[in-house]
Amino acid sequence: MSVIVLLFFSVILQINGQYPSFPDCQAGVLSSFPICNQSLTSRERAADLINRMTVLEKISQMITTAEGVPRLGLPKYEWWSEALHGLAYSPGVFFGGDLPAASSFPMPINLGATFNMRLIHQIASIISTEARAFNNEGRAGLTFFTPNINIFRDPRWGRGQETPGEDPFLTSQYVYALIQGLQRGDDERYLKIAANCKHFDAYDLENWNGTDRHHFNAIVSDQDLVETYLPPFKSCIQDAQVASIMCSYNSINGIPACAHQFLLETIARESFHLNGFVVSDCNAISDILHTHHYTSTPEQTVAVALRAGTDLECGVFYLFHMNDALHRKLINETDINQALMRTYDVLIRLGWFDPPEQQVYRQLNKNNVDTGEARQLSLVSAQESIVLLKNINGSLPLDFNQLTNKRIALIGPTADATIQMQGIYHGRAPFLVDPLGGFKNITAGKPIGVDYARGCGISSHSERDFAAAVRLAQSSDIVIFFGGIDHTIERESVDRQSIALPDIQLSLIQELEKVTRSPLHVVIMSGSSLDLSYIRDSVGCASLIWMGYPGQSGGLAVASVVFGQYNPAGRLPVTFYPASYVNEVSMFNMQLRPSANSPGRTYKFYTGKAIYEFGYGLSYTTFNYTWDNRTFISAYSIQSVMKQINRQEKTIISSIRINVTNTGSMNGDDVVLAYVTPPNVSSEQIAPFKQLFGFERVHLKVNETKEVCFTFTVETALLVARNASKWLHSGSYRIIIGQQHIGVIQLQGQTIRWV
């Protein structure tokens, strides 16, 4: 839903004073009912509450702005709160009073670039703590429609920035760490908050070539579904035990996602064991009828959605048409009860009906929001996400000793970015340090000048401000260009047409290159890939940094990298394609593998030459990898793997140990990436060039060595056939660490079908 609509909702709710409140299980009407009896199971408690409601009362609880039942002492509840990278504007979240702001962490695309799952867990823990503090003061719900774990399949996608990138393995690891931090905390009896994995499934298009997400029918092969579009949801639902998922706007192979019984029941519930509810994306039920034309009446529409397993609607379609569907016998009251069982079960597991005194999370308050620890973590996560893409002759970091009485110019449309650094789905940050502020902070008290000129807009056509920028560049010793894109170009409902750097910025860079005393430094803000080949190749550009959308302390983080107070180690979580890519493949094409109509997608299948590859990123120091070659001497028998008692995808076939040594002259992190290139098993079944199967971010002092270990499991080796069956093939699996081929794992014996 658009931000404007969100803000509208927030205003309406605030005027009406509909802050969420808690049921009174102490003295109220409810208190004598089993819903308040903690000796009973959550399902028993929910069943009794539901049985006391009339049909109309039940129906009014099946939408996200749930009415409550005053007669029974059941308060209103707004199910829709957001917290993608900090508490965010949404119908359930209100900033103000004692809680004017919440920590604003970097966008998930940055979090993907950190490749640091401990960090992501810590961030999620702080977000859930702040969420509870807001909830305790009536300023947020307990159910959050976060995270977005769709695969960033096409660089044009306006919401790709909400995800950790293009790789299913990375996204699966990310969502596991995130959900643990959001849902689990110090009190094992309760969910800390309820998260929501969205958008199920194959949603990653906003509006392209005249077709928007409400009309889009994603044609997805079984192979791509099993190999790429389902794994993050499996990790979220089965491994991390998320409390809810959201069905998406689009259709999948002709069936709207919220009417897709196979996906919602067979896959999510039966196969992945979803223990929670399914909520529709906002107005997606109405889309089943009005944009997908999958049904012909409103009653049929609510019936297919409810029967497919959509328990809760964001919208009002259920409210207006459920009763008629019931009268026409398209559904029965058991269907309604089942949906309510699933939603109330989650509220009970959140402790909503239990006494506050006994609950750790109910004690959290404004003192737990925007703490020193949260501020530090927000800065560190921004620093860890920054990717150094080019650094000729060690031009970075800038050396303070050589800057005495020198002037640094920051030029360009993102040098003073504040709210833009928050990306989308953001809230009110306690403060926002723009790059200019970051540079001034770090140079404070030193004889170094920092000046600023805007030069041009993000994508304007006016060169009016060029002259002033060029004059400033001429009189400066160091010039740093701050460019890139922002929410005016990529956001919800808006996909990009072009992935080139906006022309106006390229022109300005070229003007600056002509006049600078030393080669230009460039910093790019974006939540997606841009063709940066000009900057990469130009001798007039000494360095290039990608900063993503780094959140409240983003400007300070960038400055600390430029001055070498932080040694960068972020890695690109997406492929940076050449600008021509958008002409080579339709955004409607969901296929990952190359074909006559596509050069392929992501580092796994893209057959062209990337501008910068997935996983790319430099450091101010150097690292060396050493390993024991004997790891690769023995071959492994498929038949003996099959005989193991715990025959699971996580079964370990081999362990790969790597010693990482910092061989340079600066302390810093290395992100060690482990890939496998599987055997080429048949011509019709194109294997990926490589597939990430492990990663580890390690901090190493100069000369220090640390050992990192990766496990080569059955899951790592499994190949998905065209018909979605999974196979353990005999053959050679090449292991690549970073850019280095280090050895081959041999699987011997008869190829077998796994599932």
Ligand X SMILES: *[C@@H]1O[C@H](CO)[C@@H](O)[C@H](O)[C@H]1NC(C)=O
| Catalytic positions | 281
752 phi and psi, to 5 degrees?
Answer: -130, 155
Cis-peptide into 121, omega within 30 deg:
no
Binders of ligand X among 132-161, rule CB under 6 A? none
Stretch binding ligand X (CB under 6 A), from 65-73, 275-283, 456-464, 626-634? 626-634
H helix or E strand, kind and range, residue 101: none
Interface pick for ligand X out of 111, 263, 386, 542 (rule CB under 6 A): 542
Q: Using the rule CB under 6 A, is 37 a contact of ligand X?
A: yes
Smallest distance from ligand X to CB 738, Å: 12
Nearest CA-CA partner of 242 in 298, 198, 282, 206: 198
406 forms bridges with which residues in the sheet? 448
Stretch binding ligand X (CB under 6 A), from 33-41, 103-111, 485-493, 647-655? 33-41
Q: Using the rule CB under 6 A, is 659 a contact of ligand X?
A: yes
Interface pick for ligand X out of 2, 510, 639, 703 (rule CB under 6 A): 703
> What number of CA atoms fall less than 13 Å from residue 64's CA on the CB side?
27
Binders of ligand X among 298-317, rule CB under 6 A? 307
Smallest distance from ligand X to CB 492, Å: 22
Interface pick for ligand X out of 186, 373, 537, 707 (rule CB under 6 A): 707
Interface pattern 314-343 for ligand X (x via CB under 6 A): ------------------x-xx--------
Q: Give the torsion sign (CA, 304, 308, 309, 313).
A: negative
Are 520 and 392 spatial neighbours (Cβ–Cβ below 8 Å)?
A: no
H helix or E strand, kind and range, residue 120: helix 117-136
Smallest distance from ligand X to CB 723, Å: 4
80 phi and psi, to 5 degrees?
Answer: -100, 95
> What number of CA atoms fall less than 13 Å from residue 631's CA on the CB side?
20
Smallest distance from ligand X to CB 634, Å: 14
The per-residue DSSP string of 265-299 comes to IIIIIIIT---SEEEE-TTHHHHHHHTS---SSHH
Interface pick for ligand X out of 7, 468, 702, 755 (rule CB under 6 A): 702
Nearest CA-CA partner of 624 in 686, 507, 703: 703
Nearer to ligand X, 165 or 519 (CB): 519
> H helices then E strands: how many in the chain?
23, 27
338 vs 515: CA distance, rounded Å: 70
The CA angle 155-479-504, to the nearest 5 degrees, is 45
Q: Using the rule CB under 6 A, is 709 a contact of ligand X?
A: no
Q: Using the rule CB under 6 A, is 633 a contact of ligand X?
A: no
Q: Using the rule CB under 6 A, is 539 a contact of ligand X?
A: yes
Smallest distance from ligand X to CB 395, Å: 6
613 vs 576: CA distance, rounded Å: 6
Nearer to ligand X, 363 or 665 (CB): 665
Nearest CA-CA partner of 655 in 636, 677, 682: 636
Interface pattern 257-296 for ligand X (x via CB under 6 A): ----------------------------------------
Smallest distance from ligand X to CB 288, Å: 18
Smallest distance from ligand X to CB 680, Å: 4
The per-residue DSSP string of 593-610 comes to S-BTTB---HHHH--S--
Sheet strands side by side (includes 726-728):
719-720, 726-728, 752-753
* Residue tagged 């002509």 (tokens): 514
245 vs 264: CA distance, rounded Å: 9
CB count within 10 Å of CB 183 equals 22
246 phi and psi, to 5 degrees?
Answer: -120, 130
Q: Using the rule CB under 6 A, is 477 a contact of ligand X?
A: no
Are 81 and 140 spatial neighbours (Cβ–Cβ below 8 Å)?
A: yes
The CA angle 739-744-747, to the nearest 5 degrees, is 140
Stretch binding ligand X (CB under 6 A), from 67-75, 355-363, 467-475, 620-628? 620-628
Q: Using the rule CB under 6 A, is 397 a contact of ligand X?
A: no
Smallest distance from ligand X to CB 334, Å: 4
Nearer to ligand X, 44 or 186 (CB): 44
Residue 341 structure tokens: 């069982």
Q: Using the rule CB under 6 A, is 40 a contact of ligand X?
A: yes
Interface pick for ligand X out of 119, 721, 736, 745 (rule CB under 6 A): 721
242 vs 525: CA distance, rounded Å: 32
Q: Using the rule CB under 6 A, is 404 a contact of ligand X?
A: no
Q: Using the rule CB under 6 A, is 583 a contact of ligand X?
A: no
434 vs 427: CA distance, rounded Å: 17
Smallest distance from ligand X to CB 628, Å: 5
Stretch binding ligand X (CB under 6 A), from 48-56, 388-396, 487-495, 507-515? 388-396
Q: Using the rule CB under 6 A, is 444 a contact of ligand X?
A: yes
Stretch binding ligand X (CB under 6 A), from 296-304, 474-482, 523-531, 699-707? 699-707
Binders of ligand X among 424-443, rule CB under 6 A? 441
Nearer to ligand X, 121 or 215 (CB): 215
Q: Using the rule CB under 6 A, is 730 a contact of ligand X?
A: no
> How far from the centroid of its chain's Cα atoms is residue 225's Cα?
19
Interface pick for ligand X out of 43, 189, 327, 657 (rule CB under 6 A): 657
Nearer to ligand X, 526 or 662 (CB): 662
510 vs 37: CA distance, rounded Å: 71
* Residue tagged 């956001």 (tokens): 491
Interface pick for ligand X out of 210, 462, 583, 630 (rule CB under 6 A): 210
Q: Using the rule CB under 6 A, is 627 a contact of ligand X?
A: yes
Total length of the chain? 755
Nearer to ligand X, 307 or 536 (CB): 307
Nearer to ligand X, 181 or 550 (CB): 550
Nearer to ligand X, 134 or 566 (CB): 566
Interface pick for ligand X out of 98, 399, 537, 628 (rule CB under 6 A): 628
Which residues does 3 contact at the CB level (< 8 Å), separation at least 6?
A: 89, 424, 492
Nearer to ligand X, 316 or 610 (CB): 610
Smallest distance from ligand X to CB 697, Å: 18
Nearest CA-CA partner of 467 in 482, 456, 483: 456
Nearer to ligand X, 493 or 624 (CB): 624
Chain positions contacting ligand X, by CB under 6 A: 37, 39-40, 209-210, 307, 332, 334-335, 392-393, 395, 441, 444, 519, 539, 542, 556, 586, 588, 624, 626-629, 657, 659, 663, 680, 683, 702-703, 705, 707, 721, 723, 725
